[in-house]
Every structure is written in structure tokens, then in C-alpha cells.
Structure 1
Amino acid sequence: MKSILKGVCIGLFIVTILTAGIYILLGFYYMEGFPCFTWINGVYCTGKNVEEVNRELCRKYKYDGISVVDKNGTKLFVSSDDVNYQVDFTDSLNEFLDKKNPFAWGYYFFHNPVASFDPKVSLDTSLLSGKIANWEIFMPDSELDVTLIRSDDGYILENDLEAVPQMEEIIESVYFSMMEREDEVYLYDIEGCYKSHRLNEEQQKVYDLYMKVDALQNCGLSYDVEGENFDVTKGVVADWIVTEDTYEAAASEKASKKEPGKGLFIINGEECSFPEEVTFDNGIALDENGNVILSESKMYSYLKSISMDHGTAYYMDKYRNGESNMIYVKDNSKGDGLLFEIQSEFDDLISSYLHGSFYEDRTVTLEPSDSVIEYDASDLLGKTYIEINMGEQHLYYYVNGELSMDMPIVTGNVNRSRGTPTGIFNVYNKRYHTNLIGVDYVSYVNYWLGVHKGVGIHDATWRSKFGDEIYKRDGSHGCINCPLDSVEKLWEVVEVGTPVLLYY
């Protein structure tokens, strides 16, 4: 029994000696590297030396560079290679390792050493300065100026002196941003990166002119036509301003009851005729007191164009495309064809400029004129019909929804109150070789299609030209004059009862 006990004791002693030896040997092993189960910034470091861990951490903390954005959105990318950007963890790793006892690895087995360090960052400031100094945003002081420019967005002011980039401050800002490993830096958000320079006398004049122009451009109006919005943008208003290019036409305008706004202008909140003395500044016409000149006729033309774009032809296109069966025709023979009321809106627009009442954005809905008639095209026209667009001075013949033929025409002389009637009618008769008899005329025609009362579609061999605006100065008594060859073909295929749409 004693011998057995003695053997056990010897065995335990040997195991203890061996365990202690192994523990001590492992302690010596960890003297060359990090203790067991050590984690630094998510990297497993056990048994690795400082150089190895530093290399792994540097790979993990790879930094590509920074995108520098100036006030105009111009970007400059500064890569880490451009400035010899370096990261290093050596000092932190050595300090960490010095505090660890390699022979305490047993303790660390149960209490894992975990740490997180920020890298030591360095870059070559001279390389950074050179990179930024070559950026296109920096201009010599001699080239800085204030310029008034006419663009698609109206008149804009390019003021190089308003916010001049400061090179030293920008270099410093980019340096600190790169030291913080940022991917992007917006210079306009950093105080000191931009400074304004004082304008000289000439530059101040340009600035003052822009302020006058921009006050007119910012009217904030929008017109709604059948749910479609037309914003009176700065570009729209800029077209109303009299310039060196439009000066002669504006100066020669004469007031006319038939053409609203003709010969009238708005200058410094007053309605007047064109001034006798005019000067030009940056291409803009100014009166003797340096005030900008607005053309009322240009304003009316803008409103008219909106209404014209939504005329009967617009609704006929929608009908043919299957978008709507409803079409609208203005019941008149004056030839304006405007479905939507614009006179009252024109008067309101003029009043707003005269009284300076553009204070906030507002939308104005253009309403249909009282003389507009609504038709169900599917019921009254169907798919085979004659369409006469008197604004274009053109006739179209559709068969089963497809265009079969078309021709230029001459309609009633609107300047002599002989305008062709508008609306939807039907061919009520066809005549061949007949005389048209009026109060003061007798005209022989080869082909006649009666449309409405004494108005019909016929040839006019006495004419050599058709289309354009002949009808305004040498139009018919109300009929639709057509070229002989074309109307002959139409007469042969059109049946009595065929719908005819006439509109301006």
C-alpha cells in the first residue's frame, strides 16, 4: 500500500514538473509575440509579432482617398497615393505588448485580451498642397469678375467675387479631413474656405442691373390648362424684356385694338409707350433712368401660345389617339381660335407688374371661353370625316381613322368680316360645273361640296397659291378654296352626309 502511494506521489510530482515546464516554455514562446487569445481591432494576434499584426491592421484599414466638393459642385479626388498617405499601429501595439506579462498566459486563457486602437496617420503636406493648388476652382484675382448672362433659365449672375475659394484654408480642411479618414468633404460647409471680395464701381453696376432684372423674373406665376401646368419661369420672363436684338421691333410697334399689348410697355411699374431715349447695358434696353423695359405684346403672345397649344387641333389629336372623345370648337368667324380665355388673365398679369403684387407663388386656371362649344366626336364625326384647320389653312380627309388625302386651302377673309364659320356640319350636296352667285360676284367652279348654307368646298382656278396667310389679305367670301387637282379627287370619293369639322 505504501509503495502504491509513493508511486502516485512520484507521478503527480512528475506531471506537475512537466506542466510547469510546459507553462514556462509557453511563457517564453509568448515573449516573442502577443499572448494567447489576443484580439486587436478584430484581428487575431496570438503568437504574432508587432510587425505581423501591424501589417494585417494596415491592410484592414486601407484608405482610398477623399472627394473634395466646392460650392458649385465641382469635385476633386485626392487619392492616398497622391499624398503618400500612411497608417501605422506600431507604437500602440508596442505599448500594449509591453504591458502584458507573457508568463500570465494562463490568466489570459480565461480573460482574453481585447483592444482597439486608432492608427497613426501621416501624409505629405507638400504633395497635398500641390494637388489642391492645381484645382480649376482657383482663379487669379485679375480674372475675377461679375458677369450678367442670358441663359435658358433667364438672366443669371456669375459673381466670381461673391465666394472666392481660399487656398490655404481649403488645404488645411482637406488635411484634417484626411487625417480623420473621411471619404468626402463639402468645403461650403466649412467656415473660412470662402470669402467675398468687394465689388468695384463697374462690377457694382452689373450687380445692380441683375437685381432689377431678377425682380421682374421672379413673378411666381403658373397657368393651369386642363390639368397641365405652365410655369412662368425666369426664362419666360426674360423673353419679355426688350434687348438690343429686339429693340427695333419693339420701337416700331403701334397700338392696335386687334392685338392686345401692341405698342405698350411696362417701365418701373408704369404702363407707357416705347421711350424716346434708350441705352443698352449688357444687351438689355434701358430707359433714360436706367429702368428695364417689359413688352406687353410679348406677354400676350406667351398667353396666346398656351391657349393655341390647346386648340381644337390638340383635342382632335387626342380623339384620334383614343384618349378622349370630346373636342372643343370656338364658335366664331374672327379667326383667333382661342378656346381658353386669356384677356382677363393678360389684364391681371399687367396689373401685377404695375402694382408689384408678385409676393408668393400662385396658380391661375385658364377657363374656356363662353363661345366654346363641346362636341362628342365619336358621335358626330365617327372615323370618316373632313377636317379643316383654318389656322393652318389646310384640309385633311380621314377614312376609317386614317389620313387619306390633304391639301392647302384659302378660307374666308377675316379682315373683311367674311370669315368661314366654325363647327361640325355635313356635306349636304355635290355639284359639278356650277356657278356661285353672290351680291357682287359670279364665279364658275368645277367641283362643289356644300357644307353650311352658302359655304362650300370648291376649286378656285383663279388662284395660283394656297395656304400660308393668304386668307387674311385675299381670302374668299367664306368658302373653302382648294387646288383643282386635289379637290377633284376629294369630290369623287366624298359622299353626301360626310361630317365636316371647321375650326381656327
Structure 2
Amino acid sequence: MELENKQDGEEKGTSGQKPTMTYAEFKAQKGRKRGRDRGPGINKDLAVKIAAVCGGVVVLVGAVGGGLYWHESLKYKTCFLPGTIVDGMDVTGKTAAEVEDAIMEQLKGYKLTINGREDLSESITGEEVGLYAEFDDTLAKAIAAQKPMEWGKYRFGKSVNEVNTDALIRYNDEMLGEAVDSLSCMDKENMREPQDAKISDYTSGGYTIIKEDEGTELLEDKVKEAVAAAVMSLAESVDLEEQGCYVSPSITSEDEALKTACETMNKYVGARITYQFGDKSETLSGDEIHNWLTVNGTSVRINEGKATEYVKKLAASYDTAYKAKSLKTSYGKTVSITGGSYGYKINQAKEAATLVSLIKNGEQTSREPEYSQKGASRTGNDYGNTYVEINLTAQHLYFYVKGKLVIQSDFVSGNAAKGWSTPAGAYSITYKQRNATLKGQGYATPVSYWMPFNGGIGLHDANWRKTFGGTIYKTNGSHGCVNLPPAVAKTIYENISAGDPVLCYHLDGTESASTSGTKKDETAATTAAATTAAPETTVAPTTAAPETTAAPTTAAPTTEAPTTPAAGGDQESVGPGFAPETEGTTEQEVGPGF
């Protein structure tokens, strides 16, 4: 039997009572005193006794500890082991009834907070969804299935005993649906549809990608599923963003196809094409090009029709073909020459295709457009200072090379009485040819120098005529060609090139009745200036008549001149009317010519 030990209290002066002890303690104390009195030495009997006592204590402690562990395990036959989690709630040491009470207590004040985009925060209570608990023997079975003797593993270790009892929580499905539908975020008027990322409108710096707008449009079924799952687990909150309840945009700013499209558009509007027209220029840049681009999703296309329109405007401004030309004549008066095809003409189809290609490559360049034909100069008059000036009224011509008069002469043009008048207008030498036979209906005449400039109408020598100029053309003119003294034709031929302008006009007040003849050596009765002969040339670029220009009212055939005429007397077939003639000549079917 143990006695209450008051020794500590006595030492501290808290009690005047003497300490008490067991009898065994008293006997042990007396033994120690006698030992000290006897002096040093070892009492073997005492050592044996001490060892026996210690061993007994160990056994006693083990027995007591084991008993206590076993005793502790007994209670876990009716309550949950340490570390047991039921629906997120620690139920250590709780009985099934106590867990049911705890669950019911939670349900009374349950509220689910619903979070979402743009600071959305709304709530639904357990009462609104008809939340209740339906208990069966699930908890009791969970306790019965436990191994009570393992309670130490859960208390002193890290093991967790989880019990899934979600099935115990119930809600009214219809009430939950109504509660979700009543949320402000579920009102269609409060939802904003998502917007795909897209390419911005054009600015002078080009294009950028506008980030997508995720919007606030919710998927009703997804929201109900997320809320139901949160209610079943008695969660405090649910995030609709995390649960994937929002409608997502189809294209984001990270979309590779969108990035590529933006890069392509910036490449296109980065193009800069400067067209040179003499001392004038036109520059096409992104400020115009962006109007030609269309984007379908992530597909970029250049509207080629816009490119065609642009080139058409250039042509309207800078084409000079088929337009009136001002000429200060050798008579000192200025005339306006209409008709004819001479001048600059942009090849619109070819240039539009080239332009689209330049834009696609993002080119920055200065260039001339593609021409189907060119004039001599972009500065001042397009015909330059080398040309044949033909005054149809005076029946007199002047031939200038680089501004210097080479020769002037009378001539005979088309027979006015028969309707074969030589048309006024600005033309160019199509080609030049030696020893051609001019052949038309009812005639075939060889000439030494043939220089067509308007279809079958051209300049040529007329050795059968002895007089030129005056009014011969009115009743005894040619079929439309300009008949020249042989020496004059020779001089012009030797100094003119394919493409050189021929300017035909009428000038009131210059008509003369006087004529000029040729000498026996067939030199002109006019004086020719000394010049350097121009090289034999090939065919000038062909020109197409405008769609609205009517053909001359003369009996010209529809055949074209040869594209590679012979020069220097070589024989060549020209036109469908060719027939071999004398050596050194070719036969040419011409219009109202000869």
C-alpha cells in the first residue's frame, strides 16, 4: 500500500506535515544507513534484490501499458478510429449517431458560394436546394469494419481512414435547377458572348492581334453539374471558371494560323511601289493596299480586282495613246492632233498581275509600269523631237531628227474625191522595208522604200509621179498612202526608225495650188539637210486600236503587216496577197495606200 508523499511540500515549506512512505521504502532507507555506518563494500544480497525489483517493474509496466492499449481499443468498437474522415469532416472518436448529428448540424446553415469571371459571387443555401441527409447503416458498417487494435497506427502514424458517404447527402433536383436558374449570372441578358481573337483594323503601323474576349456566357448544364457536385460534398464554394462552365472563344491570340495571317497582312501592307512617269510619280503604299485585303477566318487574300482598278486609274492619268496631242507646227501655229494610236499605253492586265506579285513579296521598289507601247518622251509632248510632220492641207511634210530638220517636201496623199483621204492623227512607223510590192484591189505596184504607219497606210516613193503637192490629192490622190519623190523617200528611210512618230494634221490657210516636180535624177525639188543615216530597224511595237475607235472609211484590207520585214532588198512574203515579182522586190497588200 502506498502512502502519500509530502516530502516536496515539506522542503518548500508548504506543509508542516512529516512525509509518509511505504514500509518497503522505510526498510530500504534503514539499510542504506547501516551500509554507510559499516563503510565501503558490496552487499551481494542487496544487488540481487535490486535486480529482481527492476525486472518486476519492467514486467509490471509492460503489463500495464498493454492493458491500457487494449482498453483503449475497446472503445473503437463503437466509434471511429483516429484520423477517420467522413465527407471532409474529422470524426475521430465519434459514434455513428454523433456523426449523423454533426452532419445534420452542418446542413442547417449550409450555403454554397458560386464564384466566376469578372468578380462573380453569388450563393445558394441548402434550404433552396432542399438539402437533407438520408442515414442508413453506412456509418455503423464502417465502424464495424474497423480493426480497433490498429488505433495506434492512425493516432501515432500518418495513416488516414477515409469513409465515402456522399450517398448520404441528398437534394431536390428540381429545386436545385430552379435555384441555379434564378442566379443573376444565368440571366441571358447578363451574359456576354465570347469573341474570337482577331486582326485589328489597319493603322499606319500595320496590323496587330486583338486578344480574344472570353465573355461571360455560361453552359447551363455544366453549371448545374458543378453546383450539384459542390452541394453533395458540402463544399463552401465552387468556381465556375475552374469547372469549365463558360463558353470559350474558338480562336485565341495564341492561334498560330491567326499569327501567320497577321504577319502576312503586315508583309503586304509593307510593300511600297513607286511608279515613275518622267518627272512625275505615283506611290502605292499600305495606306491604299490595306483596302485590297480580305480576311476570311485566318485566310488572307488580295482582291486582284482592286489592283486592276488601281492600274486602270494609272492608265487614265498617264496613258497618252489615243489622246489629243498639241503640236507647234513648222508654220508657227499650234494644232491639236486627234486620232491615231501613238503614245504611252500601259498593259493593264500584265501590270496588275505584276503589281499583285510585288505586294505579295512585300517589295519596296521604284519602277515603270508594264507598257504595251511607249512614246518617245515623258517630259513635254510624248512624241519627242524626232518625228515626221505631215500637213495634209498644204500637202507638205517636214522630217525632224532630234529637233533638227532633215528634209521637207511636197507629197500627194489619199484621193479625197474617192473617199480615200489620208486620216489625220498621231501614229508611229510600224516598220520599214526595202523593195516591197504594194498590192491592193486592182493594182500591184513595186516601191523601193516602204514605211507603213497606220495599218496599210504608209510613206513610200512614187516614181510614177512627176509632180507633188498642191491640190493633186483632191482628184488624183493615192489610195491613202503618202506618195513621195524617190529621193525624199530614200532620205527619210535612211534616217527614220521603227516607232518614230508620224503626225498628220489639217491646218486652215496653208493650202496652195502650186506643185513641185522631180529632177531627172529623181532627187527632190526641195533641199535636204545633211544628216547621219539611221540604222535599219525592225518592227516597232504593235499597237492596238482603242475599242471605241472606228476604222477609217476607206477600203483598207484587214491583213496585218509582217512582224519581221525584210530590209535592204531581201525578198520576203508579206500579207496574204504575196506573189513573187522581179528580183529584189516583195509584194505587199496595202489598204487605201498606193
Same fold (TM over 0.5): no
Q: TM-score per shorter chain, which class?
A: under 0.3
Q: TM-score, normalised by structure 1?
A: 0.27
Q: TM-score, normalised by structure 2?
A: 0.24
| Bigger radius of gyration among the two | 2
Higher strand share: 1
